Structure formats: structure tokens, C-alpha cells
Chain A
């Protein structure tokens, strides 16, 4: 089960139907709360896609309240199950989003022109493993190890780390990028 949330619609429905800019911390908090409510109401979807395409301007405060705090909730031990996927992030959104990701040492998966991309703080090894899964997935860890010419245990460790960070999901004993394949856990 997946859920698509249009942030622009949430903004206009929650805060003010005249707003198209995600600015100010109270606005961001209200939008995040509405998103969390939708996730709960639908019953913890496997992949929740947060769509920013109808958002004109995003400031640091809203990036922190929405993007960072949602990711932190999902990363928490008692957080929602499932995975977050972002889309509709344009060049103007990147600076505030990357800033808050760095601040909290977070990373996210976003769709850009139909292709999954990884943003935020990851090690070079994590990025290599993630890109291998994206480009070949769903894929088993031994295949990733072979493609990257590393020990199976090393690949498995990095892939599990990425899964713990909700940047990869399990798929038939292997791994896939959330939102790019069948919605399994």
C-alpha cells in the first residue's frame, strides 16, 4: 500500500488556501502534523510519497519542520513503519533541504525525472551501495558485493545500514529503493 501526499494541497487545506509558499515554522509544523495524520488514518502505508511540486518557495524553517522532522520520526525506534519518498523537489528547494539534512545528519530518497536520487549525509561507501541497488535492484546482497568487488559481509552491512536509515527496503531477501519496485518491506 502506498500513499501520495501533495504538500501544496495540504498547505492550502491546513493553513490558508491562498498560500503557495512553505515559509515560517508554525506553517511547517501545521503541514507536518497534517501529513502525519494522513499517514495514521490510512494505516501506515509501506511507501509515503511527499510531493513538493506545487510548492513555490520553501524556507529553512519549513524544510526543518517538514522534511527533517518527518525523517527523524521515521528513523526513531518507535516511529511509523514504512518508507518516505520525496518528489517534486526543484532547484530552489535544494538549499534549505540539504541544509537541514546536514544539520541532522539525515538523508532522503527523492524522485527526479522518474529516477531515484539520494540527498543528504551518506558516506561514499553507502552511496555506492545505494546506487548499485538503484541501478540493479531489486537485488541480493551477494550480487551487490560482486558488482562492487567487496566482501559479501561488507556489502550486507552497508545495505542493512541503508535499510535502517529507510533509504533501502527489503525485497524478497534482497534490497530495493523505496518507490521503485513492488511495495514490500
Chain B
């Protein structure tokens, strides 16, 4: 028997939960068809997470491609089918692969397996990032470097913690539903071991009765705990840096892992800081959303009284 997992018409971080709800109860070994025929739109998170669905189980799944030609064409230009063909058996009309020249696709879906891949994505986005972040979204030019840094750190989480490859995509689009502005979104998804198992592998890890996916996410995202911290106090700064970047630019950060999802929420959003008891999905799925700037003053980088040189008075 084949279980059909229906992809919602609009697939984003929220509606991906509908996919997981259908997938979680399916016994291992059962045939699965992921049915995206009626899908019309997908965010970078939705597309990268769909690739992770295929990686989440040992059995090879089938994937029915969107029937709408515009949707299929866009997914193709975002690089989805090129990678989906490697992890799914594709059913339906797949548009022929073409070079990506989308003005709003900052980084097409890119696999992250090794350190070199991180160098590759950071190098590739640099010129276009300035155009989109500064040109389209009106953000200060200072964001470009910090954006690359955030992209680097989020991709390194896959290399160092997932135990297998993952996917990254970066795109800008109009986020009318909640914000009425354009946003740029980084989606980094894997179906690896997830935060809980990664932190459990630390030599100094102590399990407690409360230890679960939610606590692991709090440790990693809010308390900068890393499985490498034992003996190396410098570890765990990547997610802290991402959180600071998101705060500085009024953005939103969400990380789902296992059965929990943590959110760092800006003033324009009404998400829950922590959602627990979700249906299980392996690995870690991260989304960083930075909104267009309209009228607000340019945010400043963090400063500490003890860390910045003060204005000088030089004696003659």
C-alpha cells in the first residue's frame, strides 16, 4: 500500500507541519508518495524541507510534481527538481533545467555536505546580496557582511552537527500576509541527528528528566551550548551570532528539531516562542527572515562599553 502525503497549496514553514503530521504516523518501510500536484507556491523553507522529507526515511519515496506550469517552472528555476531527482522518484512533467537568472533568488537550493560547500555559498551570494539587501530591501550596506556571516554559521551547523548533508536556499519575496513588505529568507534544512542527539553526544552532557527536544533547542539557541564546548570555550557562538543578527535587523529566527520549534520573534510577528509536542521530524530546520526597511533608523551593531575604543584626545 502507498501512503499519499499531500503538499498544501502554499507551502511554507507553518504549513510544512501539515506534511509532517501526515508523514509521522506512517510506519517505516511503507511506500510513500509526496503529492505536490496541487501546490502553487513554496517558500525556500518549504522547498528545502521537501528535500529533507525524502532523506528522513530509508525507503525511496515518489514525488508528484506540481501540475501548474508556472509553479513547476519556478520550482525548477529555484533548483528544486535538480536535487529532487536524486532523492525522489519524480512523477509528472518536470520542466527542463535552465540557468537561474531570477532576480529574487539570491541562492538557489544548494546542497551542504562539506566545509567547501559553505565557502561556495558565501562566495556566490556576495555580489547579489548587496543588490537585494541594499537595493531592493533598503537595508543599510552594513548588513551585507553580517548576512554572509549568518549564512556561513547556519550552514556550518549542518556540516558539524547533522551527520549528513542538508540544503540551503536564500530568496527575497513579498510577505504580504503578515508584514506587507518584502523579506529576504534564509532556509537551512537537514534531516540529520537534530539538536537533542547532537548535544547528547557531548562528553559532559547530563540527561535530566526534563531533557527533550525543546530543552535542547533552548540550550543551543538561547544559551549557546554546543557539543564541542567541553574543552573549547569558543564553541557555540554561531547561533548566538545569528540570534544577534536577527535582532539587529528586526528579523525572525525559527528552528525546528525533532518534536519542538523555537522562535525568536520580532515585533511584527505573533508566533509562539516555543512549540512542543509536534509530530517528530528528524534533523534541524532553520529559517531566518529579514524584512524590508521602511522608515526606521538604521540599526547599530552591538556595542559594549568595555569593548569599543572611546573617542581619543591626543596630546601634542
Contacts and interface: CB of A to CB of B under 8 A. Distances in A.
A91 interface: yes
A127 B119 CA distance: 37
Query: Top 5 closest A-B pairs, CB basis?
Result: A92-B145, A64-B234, A23-B152, A117-B309, A59-B152
Interface residues of A, number: 46
Interface in B301-316: 301-302, 304, 306-310, 312-315
A53 to B, nearest CB: 14
Given A118-B309, A121-B307, A25 B152 contact: no
A120 interface: yes
Interface in A99-117: 99-104, 112, 115, 117
Interface of A: 16, 18-21, 23-27, 56-61, 64-65, 68-69, 91-92, 94-96, 98-104, 112, 115, 117-124, 127, 131, 135-136
Nearest to B316: A135
Interface in B236-261: 237-238, 240-241, 244
A163 B51 CA distance: 55
Interface in B212-269: 233-235, 237-238, 240-241, 244
A27 B146 CA distance: 18
Query: What secondary structure prevails in chain A residues at the interface with B?
Result: helix
A182 to B, nearest CB: 20
A127 B302 CA distance: 19
Contact of A25 (B126, B160, B233): B160
A93 to B, nearest CB: 8
B149 A59 contact: yes
Contacts of A100: 234, 237
A98 B307 contact: yes
B149 A19 contact: no
A74 B95 CA distance: 58
Contact of A95 (B123, B234, B302, B306): B302
A95 B308 CA distance: 11
